[in-house]
Structure 1
Amino acid sequence: MVDFVGIAANTLILGSLYALIAIGFTLVFGVAGQANLAHGGTITIGAFTAWYVSGLGYSVWIGLLAATVTGALFHIVLHSLLVKHTEDPVNVLIITLLSWLIIEYSFRAMVGTSPRSVPSMLEGSTSIGGVSFLYNNLLIFVVSWLFIIGLFVFINHTKVGQAIIATGMNEKGAALVGIDTDKITLMVWALAGILAGSAGVLYGTFRAASYDMGMTPLVLAFAIVILGGIGSIRGSILAAYIIGFLEVFTTSAISPRLSGMTALILIILVLLYKPTGLYGRELPT
């Protein structure tokens, strides 16, 4: 018998985590027009930062704070040293892909192939509607939404946020009215790094930290961005919950072996029948 209450509850938790993972990716693509494949590597950096900090005896919450810093710094360095010096989107794709692979192989050399446990944010469990939940998983939902809401407030209610919106709408027009689009682009990359680093910690507490842990989140981020619409943050949030539901339903009601398959099928269907996604805009030709 299919446990619909459990599926609905797990969808809320998993969808919030997927949304946090995807928003940083879609933010960079929507504003800078750049596909950052190193996003998966940033997730890995965030998870292992929290693992290392907790190994020093500090709280995982300190690890979460440290992961936001290392995620932002990695993106700033990546953009400033490599991405900034090329305008070709294909070259950006290649550079970020190679950067991601370097991160993966570096962590493989440093920590090996065995998964490492990131401590839970809160131990224990509770029962809601007859379904048992770990406190840690409930906190994943809460913390993810705190980051998402914080991003919305920053973008919609600050001058810098308005400059980000203007740059995303028309970079040349934004430059004409005095906006330093280079600084805005760098800030967007840093924001994406903060989101990806924090997502890595939450993902690590949900499952585990491993050198190749960025692969599945990156595939999901692609699926979410394509379904929600390239450049649409609201679309990414809605798409994250749709994919979260399909993922939970597939693994719970059909087979755990099909995990990740629904996202790939959805990418194909959306590209064939609605390439602009739910809220996206047509790309210039």
Structure 2
Amino acid sequence: MVDIVGIAANTIILGSLYALIAVGFTLVFGVAGQANLAHGATITIGAFTAWFVAGWGGGVWIGLLAGTVAGAVFHVLLYQVFVRHIDDPINVLILTLLAWFVIEYSFRAGIGSEPRSVPSLLAGSTSIGSVSLLYNNLLIFVLSWVFIGALFVFVNHTKRGQAIIATSMNEKGAALVGIKTGDITLLTWGVAGLLAGSAGVLYGSFRAASYDMGMTPLVLAFAIVILGGIGSIRGSLVAAYIIGFLEVFTTSAISPRLSGMTALLVVVVVLLVRPTGLYGRELPA
């Protein structure tokens, strides 16, 4: 029998995590027109940074802060050292894919392939009917939306955020009115890294940290971005919950072996039926 309450609870939690992962990926694509495959590596960096910090006695909350900062720093360095010197989006795609592999296999060589548990942010649990919910998972939902909400406030209510919107609309036009589009693109990469790093810590606390943990979230992020509409953060938020539901329902009601399969089928259907996605090409927020 299908556990409707359990599916709903897991959809809400996973949907928030997928949304947090996807909006950072969408932000870079919407502003710079660059597909950053190293986004998956940033998730891994965030999770293992938190794991290291917690293991050294810093505590998981300090680990969350450190993982978030580490994600932003990685993105900034990746952009400054490599990406900003490349004009071709295909070459950026290849470069970030290589960066992802380098990070992934560096962790595998240095730590091993065994999953590592990132400590829970909050202990305890509660019950809704027959379903037991960990307070940690409920907190993951809250924190995911805190980060997403902070992004919306930043983009819509600050000068830098308005510059991000202007750059996403027309980079040449933004430059003509005095916006330093290079700095804005760097800022966008940094913000996306911050979101991915924090998502990595939360994802590692929800499941576990492993060297290849960024693969499934990145595939799902692709599906979410395509379903929601490339460049649309609002579309990504809606699509995250659709993909989250399909993922949870498929693995719970059919088979765990089909994890990720539904998302790929959604991508195929959307590309055939509605290539622009649910919301089409929009502003970042």
TM-score by length of 1: 0.97
Identity of aligned residues (%): 79
Secondary structure in structure 1 of the residue aligned to 2:133: strand
Residue 230, structure 1, aligned to residue 230, structure 2: yes
Secondary structure in structure 1 of the residue aligned to 2:276: coil
The residue aligned with 2:63 is 63
Whole-Å separation in 2 of the counterparts to 1:215 and 1:137? 21
Whole-Å separation in 1 of the counterparts to 2:77 and 2:253? 44
Residue 254, structure 1, aligned to residue 254, structure 2: yes
Give the drift of 1:32: 0.4
Residue 90, structure 1, aligned to residue 90, structure 2: yes
Whole-Å separation in 1 of the counterparts to 2:222 and 2:22? 8
1:171-250 aligned within 5 A: 171-250=171-250
- One-letter amino acid matched to 1:160: R
The residue aligned with 1:9 is 9
1:40-55 aligned within 5 A: 40-55=40-55
- One-letter amino acid matched to 1:180: K
Secondary structure in structure 2 of the residue aligned to 1:132: strand
- One-letter amino acid matched to 1:74: F
Secondary structure in structure 2 of the residue aligned to 1:150: helix
Structure 2: give runs of 5+ residues left out of the alignment: none
Whole-Å separation in 1 of the counterparts to 2:128 and 2:151? 29
1:126-145 aligned within 5 A: 126-145=126-145
Whole-Å separation in 1 of the counterparts to 2:65 and 2:270? 36
Whole-Å separation in 1 of the counterparts to 2:180 and 2:248? 43
Give the drift of 1:216: 0.4
- One-letter amino acid matched to 2:261: M
In angstroms, what is the RMSD of aligned CA positions? 0.9
Give the drift of 1:129: 3.9
The residue aligned with 2:38 is 38
Whole-Å separation in 2 of the counterparts to 1:127 and 1:46? 30
Deviations, residues 176-203 of structure 1 (Å, cap 9, x unaligned):
1100000000000000000000000011
TM-score by length of 2: 0.97
- One-letter amino acid matched to 2:19: A
Whole-Å separation in 2 of the counterparts to 1:89 and 1:109? 30
- One-letter amino acid matched to 1:10: N
The residue aligned with 2:154 is 154
Secondary structure in structure 2 of the residue aligned to 1:25: helix
- One-letter amino acid matched to 1:189: W
User: More deviation in 123-132 or 34-43?
Assistant: 123-132
* Alpha-carbon distance change, 116 to 279 in structure 1, aligned in 2, over 3 angstroms: same
Give the drift of 1:38: 0.2
Secondary structure in structure 2 of the residue aligned to 1:104: helix
Could you list the structure 1 runs, at least 4 aligned residues long, displaced by more than 4 angstroms after superposition. Answer: none
Give the drift of 1:237: 0.4
Question: How many pairs align?
Answer: 282
Whole-Å separation in 1 of the counterparts to 2:280 and 2:73? 29
Whole-Å separation in 1 of the counterparts to 2:147 and 2:128? 24
1:12-31 aligned within 5 A: 12-31=12-31
Secondary structure in structure 2 of the residue aligned to 1:116: coil
Give the drift of 1:256: 1.2
Give the drift of 1:280: 1.8
Deviations, residues 113-166 of structure 1 (Å, cap 9, x unaligned):
111110011111101244210111111100000000000000001111000000
Whole-Å separation in 2 of the counterparts to 1:101 and 1:13? 28
Whole-Å separation in 2 of the counterparts to 1:54 and 1:27? 30
Whole-Å separation in 2 of the counterparts to 1:60 and 1:238? 30
User: More deviation in 121-130 or 39-48?
Assistant: 121-130
Whole-Å separation in 1 of the counterparts to 2:70 and 2:8? 34
Secondary structure in structure 2 of the residue aligned to 1:231: coil
Whole-Å separation in 2 of the counterparts to 1:110 and 1:256? 29
Structure 1: give runs of 5+ residues left out of the alignment: none
Whole-Å separation in 2 of the counterparts to 1:17 and 1:4? 20
